[in-house]
Amino acid sequence: MKYLLVIFLWLPMLVYADDNMSRALVAFKAANYTLAEQFWMYAAGQGDAVAQYNLAYLYHNGIGVDSNDEKSRRLLRTAAQSNLVDAYNKVLDDAVQPATVEDGLEAIAVTDPQIWVKTQEGKNYTLQLASSRSQELIEKYFSDNALEGKAGYYKSKRQGEYWYALVYGSYKSVSDANEAIAGLPKDLRKWSPWVRRLDSIQKITSP
């Protein structure tokens, strides 16, 4: 690892930073949490709020690192102060302190869209927006509507075929989720969103 990082440091800083976040996600999905921590640690030191939040997630849950709630809260506050906000802030529920939500700011977990679905609180509710047998189409919806950190998609099998469904937000109750529909952008409301409990989605999600 020492030599790997030395090689990367020869690259222009902006290129390294982007590559660093990409490699962190690859490592996370491969359950190589120690490597993910190292890449996120570098990006967090450069002021990347997404990396700061993801490190807070690791430290709060003791994933690949020793559990450290103090460090988790500190990172979460820093990410929130960078305006990393959304309706969902309960992945680190008991790590959230008043300082993280001042002026209405709420921290969010930002990973790739499929990991986003898996890391939400199962007892919460989400809004299903669209589904298709085409992963490319769902990814296009996700990208065109700039949903990173606010939404995700999951894959499930129906009658022998894989389907992909786009979901938005994480809400503590059915009523909260229904109320959120009215505040969605017009381009998202046109899909007639409907409420689903997240653990029911997580149970049917295919790898």
Q: What is the CATH number of the domain that holds 151?
A: 3.30.70.1070
Between 142 and 64, the more confident residue is 142
189 and 123 belong to one structural domain: yes
Average per-residue pLDDT for the chain: 75
- 150-154 long-range CB contacts below 8 Å, 24 or more apart? 150/86, 150/87, 150/88, 150/108, 151/113, 151/116, 152/113, 152/114, 152/115, 152/116, 152/117, 152/120, 153/113, 153/114, 153/117, 154/114, 154/117, 154/201, 154/202, 154/204, 154/205, 154/206
Question: Residue 90, Cα to own-chain centre: how many angstroms?
Answer: 11
pLDDT, tens digit (0-9, with 9 covering 90-100), for 162-205: 999 999 998 999 999 999 999 898 889 988 999 999 999 999 98
20 and 97 belong to one structural domain: yes
Q: What integer pLDDT is reported at residue 181 of this predicted model?
A: 93
Among 75, 104, 133, the domain-final residue is 104
Among 40, 74, 104, the domain-final residue is 104
Domain that holds residue 55: 2-104
Per the structure, the count of domains in the chain is 2
Among 104, 132, 166, the domain-final residue is 104
92 and 168 belong to one structural domain: no
Find out whether 149 and 160 touch, Cβ atoms under 8 Å: no
169 and 123 belong to one structural domain: yes
Q: What is the CATH number of the domain that holds 70?
A: 1.25.40.10
118 and 192 belong to one structural domain: yes
pLDDT, tens digit (0-9, with 9 covering 90-100), for 78-102: 776 665 543 234 334 443 333 333 3
- Say what percent of the chain tops pLDDT 90: 28
pLDDT, tens digit (0-9, with 9 covering 90-100), for 10-68: 233 333 345 677 788 778 877 888 888 898 898 888 888 778 878 887 888 788 888 88
